[in-house]
Structure formats: structure tokens, C-alpha cells
Structure 1
Amino acid sequence: MGDSQNILQKFAIKVSDWSEKWFPDSYIFALLGVIIVAIASMAIGAPATQVALSFGDGFWSLIPFTLQMCMLIVVGYVVSVSKPIKFIINTLARIPSSGTGGIVLVATISLFVSLINWAMSTVLTALLVIALAQRKELKLDYRAAAAAAIIGMGATWALGISSSAAQLQANKASLPESIYQLTGVIPFTETIFLPQSLIMTAVLIIASIAIAYFSAPKGQNVKTIDQFNIELDRDDTEVQNTASHKRPGDWLENSPILSILIVILGAIWMFNEFSKSNPILAISSLNTYNFIFLMLGIALHGTPRNFLNAVSKAVPAISGVLIQFPLYGSIAFIMTHAMNAQDLSLSHYIAEFFVSISSKETFAIVMGVYSAILGFFIPSGGGKWIIEAPYVMQAAHDLKYHLGWSVQIYNAAEALPNLINPFFMLPMLGILKLKAKDVIGFTVTQLIFHIPLVLFLLWALGRTLTYIAPTF
């Protein structure tokens, strides 16, 4: 009886079994992405030499973001394995009474925390999965739990205050002049805080949790962490100050004095940063977020030696980010910088095609499909909006379509590829020591339901809004 399966469980497990056998490592996935966009760019007339140059020029274009993501993983891990935060995570992990309950808990936290800060949700939920997996009596399916940890990135993150596109549109200083002349400033009240946007967010949260619950394997179909032969560190990240002080360097490493002084300096900077700008916008900056968590990690671990030991445990988790993000930078550059004889790029032709086939009635669906497709190849919310906005917002103007909802169409749709694109899975996968093929069966299940649901909501809710001319 415990092994009976519903249709969602059967589908998720079949896709998972298939992906474990056939789905390549995420590095291969990135390589294929480069080859596909390179061939497509040459197909529109871009010279092969220019494609190759764009590949090389773009290879290091995401270096700042790569470092940010690496620091995100490291500081998130360091904070999460400190005694106070581990206590909170372990307390949460004691709430579920079953593996399915654990998966629902992870999904719920991922969905809600992503609304505040997508980066925080990625690391926090991964550490929660580890804590749940260590409760052997739960019989937690490690694959489904890991997939639940990324749900927020594919459902809600871009509809919350960390939305890159909404933030760009709400701040004149951040907008390129070409976009500002089209849209003016669009405040949060016309994007993420629209009643229609809040309704869509609520529906997606409920649907995502329901799918996670009904697709969770049960009985003999459960694949626990033990079946992956993964060894997770339990207590060795909490290195106590027990080293003998045989030399002055030992004393400095095991004394909290230096850590306290650094944290005081950091606290002064943070006070100034949050005093001069909107705190919500400040915390949504990855640099500020990483700085806060770095200072918090130093404070929570007390001594430099304890802090460094925790950092050394986190470093292996960043290997996928370091080697794959440069390839995604090349993909974005080839799509936008490899020009044909008419000085047009692949991204222009894709946008032009979707704009040409849209009408006011179909705008939401057509633009949603376009944003999702482009998001698969350019997985950067803010950077992709700068590429996409001139075409999308011009079409919205011509069709007299609500400009704020046009931003939300982009936000909701561009998040969808995150459910199957390894780009944003890498931090979570690195911490859990899994590969994309291990979780793809369950994230594909979410995606299949999300695509029609998101497109319908964008279309139906968009019909309730009227065009408002931009203000400058």
C-alpha cells in the first residue's frame, strides 16, 4: 500500500530514471549551449571569425558575477554551519514527521525566501536538505528534496523584491537611456506590488507546494542520501578552539580579538549603507548580501581558525560555478555581439520574430514564451532585461499594453528555465554534492505544470489592466 504511486510520482520517477542514465553533467550542458548559439549565429549570417571572437570576448564577462556566486556559496555555507544557525536549521528539520513533509517544508521555505532574496534561498534550503537527510527515520528522497530547494528560483524569485528587471525599471539611475526613453520610471506599485502580481505569486506558491507533495516518491521508490554514497560532514565544521598555543601565530588564530575588530568595521559600513538608501534595495544587492553574511560568518565562528576551517569545507562546492559560468558569458556574448552584414545579432532576430507574431490579445503569451526561451541561453535576469526591454517595451507601447505588467510577463516567464537550467542549480548542487541529472526528473515535473499555468495567469490577469503612458 505504501508503494502505490499516483500519476505525478510515476512521471517524476520515470523522468528521473531516464535523466540519471542519459542526462549529461551540467558542464556538458553548457558546452552544448555554446555550440548551439554559435551555429545559430552563423546561420543568420554572422562570420565564423566574429562568432569565435565573441566567444573569447564574452568568456570572462561574468567574472564579477562568478565571484559573487562563489562568495554566495562560501559565506552561506560558513554561516549555516555555525552553531547558532545550525541550531535553527536543525530545529526546522525536526518539524516534519515524514520524508514527504520534509520535501514540502523545503519547497515552502524556498518559495517564500526567494521572494526576499533568491541567493539566500539557494543556500539556506540546501543546508536544510542536509539536516533533513541526516534524520534517517524520515526516509527522505534526496533527489526530490534537492529539487524542492530550487523551486523558488523557478517560480517566485523574479516576482519578489529581488527582481532585477523590476529594480532596474524603478530606478532611473540604473536604466540605460534607450530603455528610459521608452518606459520612464516604473515603480514597484506597477510591477511586483500590483494586485494581479500578488495573485499570481500566491497561485504559484500553492501550485508548487502541491506538485512537490504529490510527486514525492514513497515506499520502495524513495532514494535516500545513503544510496548516493555521499558523505556529509556533521560536526567537523564546528572546529573548537582546542589548538595549543605554541607560537604567537597560534594565539592570533585562536583569539576572537581580530574577528571582533573586523566585524565592528563591517557593522559601521553596513549602518552607513542602510542609512543612505532603501534597506530593501540595499539587501537585494549581491555585494551587500555577501558582505553581510561574510561579517556574520566571522562573528558566529568567533575565532579566525574556526572561520577558516568552515571556509575550507565550503570551497569544493564552487567548482561547478568556476568552470561553467565563463561558458554562459560566452553564450550571452555570441547571442548579442556576433553580427551579420546588417549589424543584427541572433537575439534581435529572436525578438523580432516574437514581436511580429504578437497582438494585444496574445502579447502576454508570445512574450512569455520568448522570455522563457531566451532565459534558457542567457540566465541573467538583469542583463537579459537590458537586451530584451527595447523590443518588448516598444511592442507594448505600439499595442497599448500595460507597461508594468509587461515587466511582470518577463519576470514570471524568465524564471521558468531555472527549473531545468543547471546555471542557478550549481550552488545548491555543489553543497548537496549532487549532479543536475539527479534532480531533473522532479524539476521537469514542476516545469510541465508551471508553463501552462504561468502563461494562462499572465494572459488572464493582463486583460484586467489598462495601458498607462510612461512618466518622465
Structure 2
Amino acid sequence: MLLRISRPAVKLVERYLPDPYIFVLLLTIIAALAAMGFEQQSPLAVMRYWGDGFWGLLSFSMQMLMVLVSGFMLASSPPVKRLLDALAGLAHSAGGAIVLVTLVSLAASWINWGFGLVIGALFAKALARRIRVDYRLLIASAYSGFVVWHGGLAGSIPLTIATPGHFSEAQIGIIPTSQTIFSAYNLIIVIALFVIMPLVNRWMLPSDGESIFVRAEQLAEPEEAEAPTHTRPADRLENSTLLSWFVGVPGLLYLVHDFGFAGGGLNLNSVNFLFLMLAIVLHRTPRSLLTSLNEAIKGGAGIVIQFPFYAGIMGIMMQSGLAQSLSEWFVTIANADTLPFWSFISAGVVNLFVPSGGGQWAVQAPVMLPAAQALGADVSRVAMGVAWGDAWTNLLQPFWALPVLAIAGLNAKDIMGFCLVQLVVTGVVIGLGLTLL
């Protein structure tokens, strides 16, 4: 019944959902018109606000790009791939495969969102080579784990506000991850999703007559390349294990010292550094790492082109007074206790148009932070409300599913029916967690 209900929504999204770049252009126009209409700003003034802010998030854009690239390179390293094949041997039935891929995806996405996207898809393919299971649900289950990423170690919003020099530091200061990622309410939400999501996905498993299967040979990994022949000195350097280890191992030792002895904290820079050094070590040779990098960078095109527009939108909202007006509206419908929930709902809606956690925070921070301060709400919890809202409706917005679908060889319409069910269930769990805990 749930699948039948979801079919019209799938067709609607498939027909009318444009490219995310179109979303950011539309959002830019909407912000400009709102500034002129509600704040009585002149077109020239709005254009100046937009242009002045356009390059305001360049360093932040690079941090977001490194999250994706470092996570992809780590997930595609040979040791991680071998580990996935070994884990796939633990599943002995279709239901077991669905539960296992959901748990692995949840765990990987909590560690790093780029890592989780790739790990989930690769592990699903490893399972499909061994188990006869509905391939669409298997991939949807792999993608469903992505819902926890913003409450995990690579959550861009909690890590951003924990990083010195972030764009809201003058307003809210530095908020440590002990108040966001590792807070009791956030960990309870994460644990609840770890319990509920595998069960929900298992209960959606179609009968054999309704399932779509793939043959194992269709999912075979390419043969590993033969040992390279060194015809020039540069070849030896590109395929040198020692060269990689001389850089990667000291990098990991630096992080051990920084966390253990120098009082370093968890932030975007430290997470990116950790996964980059691990990828360098596990790929063993520079050539292997660069091959993976060439694949990883393809998924970062949206970040490169869209983030400057998000910065321009932020410039319009902050300098025109529109952000202040919106925050005052939130004050009228929320109180200190309910603002985190309304942050969650509003972020879920905005995420349909701004499918990027970092870009969304750039747009919503100027709105939610003044509202939180005016109401005396917990700023860290409001920020996590925005973070969870962004992660939540990624189950409906297929932008971040594109890497998974590319690896799996499917289209968004193949998994969207299952994702809609997951959207409803996770929305209830997260909403209750932000409100009641």
C-alpha cells in the first residue's frame, strides 16, 4: 500500500525536480525580490549586497569539497573494499542483507558523509553479488543511512560552529562538539535511528514476485591492474609506497599528538586531515590515490559552482535586513523550547531548494541565530535542528543520492518510493527527539 501511495509522488518529483543549480538561481531571485518587496531595498542596493557577499565563503567551500573528496578516496581504498567483501559474507538472506547494509551505511555516514555515501553503495553491490535481494530496496537502504550524517563526526553545521574563524563567530562564539554532536539528545536520536531504520527497511522488502534482481556478473568489479612497469624515474615515484607512508604516517601521528597532548578539538579541518591521511596510507601509492581522486572530484562540481551563490544570498539577507525580519517572525510563532523543532521543519523545507548542509547554514544562520538569541533558546540545539532538517529531506531531494545511484547503476525513480517511507519515519523520530529530550 505504501508503495502504491508513493508512486504519484515519485512521478511528480521525476517530472518537475530540476537540477540543484537551478534551485540556487531561483533562490537568489527570490531573496532579491523579497529584499526589494519587504525591506524596500532598491535593485541597485540588492545587487551590491549580492556582489559584495558572493566570495565570502571561499574557504568554507574548500572545506566542504574536501569532506566529499577525502571520504570518497578513503572508501575506495583497496583495504576498505576488501573489508566490505568480508562483511558481505555475514548476510545469508535477503532480509539479513537489507538490515546489514542499513547498519553499515548508518555507521559509515555517522563517521563521514562522503565516506558513507560511497561505502553504502559499494557494500550494497558486494551484497547483491552474494544474495538474491531486491536491488532497488538494497540501494535505497544503503542511501537511508545518510540521514544521520549531520548528527555525526562530519556534520558540517556542528563542525563549522566549532571551528575558529567561522562566519558566525562574532555572534555566537565557538560552540564545542560536546554541546552538539556528543550531546545526550543528539546521541539518543542517532541510536534510535540505528534501531528503527534497519527494521523499517526490512519490513519494506517486496516478495520475490515483485522484486527486481540483478545478476552477480553485472556487478563484477574490474580486474586489478597488473603491477606497473617502471620505464622512467617518475613512474617509480608515482608508484612508491614509501613516499606515501613518509607523508601519511607523520600526518596521522600529528593528529594523535594534537588530540592527545595539544588539546586539539574536532572540527572540519581535523576531520578532513584525518581522512586524507588515512586515504594516503591505505591507497599505498600516489598513483592509486590520484586515480581515486579523479573519480571523487566529479561529485564536487555542485559545491564549486553553487557555494558562491549561497554566499551571495547570505549577503542579501544580512545586509538588506531580511534576515532580521524573518527572525522576528520566528519569534512570534515559537518559544525557547519549540524553536529547535521549527528550525528542523524549516531546514527540511529549505533543503529541497538548497541541497547542501554548508550552503543551507550560510542561508539560515542569519535567520535562526538572532531568533534563538531573542527567545533565549539554546543556540546549539537550534543549530542541530537546522542540521537534522537538512539531513532529513535528503531522502526526498535526490541531489546527494547521485553518487550512490551512479555507483549502483540506478535512477532516482528506482529508489524514491522507498525513500518516501523512510522520510516519514525518520521525521517523526527526529522531531520527537528535538522536542522532548
Instruction: Tell me the TM-score range normalised by the shorter chain.
Output: 0.7 to 0.9
Find the counterpart in structure 1 of residue 330 from structure 2: 354
CA contact 2:94–2:132 (8 Å) conserved in 1? yes
For residues 15 and 296 of structure 1, what CA distance do their matches in structure 2 show?
Answer: 48
Whether 1:291 aligns to 2:276 is yes
1:117 alignment counterpart: 112
1:90 equivalent to 2:85? Answer yes
Query: 1:452, 1:408 → 2: CA distance?
Result: 16
How many Å apart are 1:119 and its aligned residue? 2.6
Among candidates 239, 260, 263, match of residue 225 of structure 2: 239
For 2:205, which of 192, 200, 216 is the aligned residue? 216
> Residue 448 in 1 paired to residue 424 in 2?
yes
Candidates 137, 145, 150, aligned match of 1:152: 145
Deviation at 1:178, TM superposition (A): 2.8
| CA-CA distance at 1:89 after TM superposition | 0.9
SS in 2 for 1:71: helix
| 1:297-337 Cα shifts (integer Å, max 9, x gaps) | 432xxx666x27xx557745754542x33453255245323
- Pair 190,101 (structure 1): closer, same or farther in 2 beyond 3 Å: same
1:165 pairs with 2:157:
yes
Equivalent residue pairs, number = 426
Alignment partners' CA distance in 2, 1:415 and 1:33: 17
Match of 2:310 among 332, 335, 340: 332
* Alignment pair present for 1:252 and 2:236: yes
Offset, 1:372: 2.0
The reply on whether 1:438 has 2:417 as its aligned counterpart is no
In structure 1, what residue type is equivalent to 2:152? Answer: G
**Could you tell me which residue of structure 2 aligns to residue 467 of structure 1?**
none
Task: Measure how far apart 1:436 and its partner are.
Answer: 2.8
One-letter amino acid of the counterpart of residue 288, structure 1: F
Please list the CA deviations of residues 16-55 of structure 1 after superposition, one character each: whole Å capped at 9, or x if unmatched. Answer: 873796466xxx3314413431442343227778669959
SS of residue in 2 equivalent to 1:239: coil
Distance (whole Å) between structure 2 residues aligned to residue 100 and residue 321 of structure 1: 34
Q: Describe the shift of the 1:151–1:385 C-alpha distance in structure 2 as closer, same or farther (beyond 3 A).
A: same
| 1:343 alignment partner in structure 2 | 320
Given that residues 160 and 267 in structure 2 are in contact (C-alpha distance below 8 angstroms), is that contact kept between their aligned partners in structure 1? no
Correspondent of 1:261 among 243, 249, 267 = 243
- The aligned residue for residue 62 of structure 2 is 64
2:26: which partner in 1? 36
Q: Distance in 2 between matches of 1:88 and 1:221?
A: 31
The answer as to whether partners of 1:73 and 1:314 remain within 8 angstroms in 2 is: no
Task: Summarize deviations over 1:222-272 as a string: whole Å, max 9, x none.
Answer: 223459xx9545242x2231x566x44597379x6x221232222113312
Q: Structure with the greater relative contact order (CA < 8 A, sep ≥ 6): 1 or 2?
A: 1
Superposed CA deviations along residues 32-86 of structure 1, whole A, max 9, x for unmatched, are 413431442343227778669959947995762575266336513540xx2x433
Under a length normalisation based on structure 2, what TM-score does the superposition of the two structures give? 0.81
Q: Deviations over 1:121-142 (max 9, x none)?
A: 222122101111222xx22222
* Kept in 1: contact 2:251–2:277 (CA 8 A): no
Moved over 6 A (4+): 46-49
Match of 1:392 among 351, 365, 368: 368
User: SS at the partner of 1:221?
Assistant: coil
Partner of 1:468: none
Q: Which runs of 5+ in 2 are unaligned?
A: none
| Distance in 2 of aligned mates of 1:98 and 1:22 | 36
Q: How far, CA to CA, are the matches of 1:374 and 1:420 in structure 2?
A: 12
SS of the residue corresponding to residue 266 of structure 1 reads helix
Go from structure 1 to structure 2 and tell me whether the alpha carbon gap of 1:72 and 1:143 turns closer, same or farther (over 3 Å shift): farther
Query: What do you get for the CA RMSD once the two structures are aligned?
Result: 3.8
Contact kept, 8 Å, 1:78 with 1:314, in 2: the verdict is no
2:135 corresponds to: 142
Distance 1:427 1:351, change over 3 A: farther
Instruction: Please give the alpha-carbon distance, in whole angstroms, between the structure 1 residues aligned to 2:213 and 2:257.
Output: 47
Q: TM-score, normalised by structure 1?
A: 0.75
Cα offset for 1:288? 1.0
1:275 lines up with 2:257 in the alignment? yes
Secondary structure of the residue aligned to 2:310 is helix
Shift of 1:446: 0.9
CA distance in 2, matches of 1:172, 1:253: 37
Indicate the SS of the match to 2:352.
helix
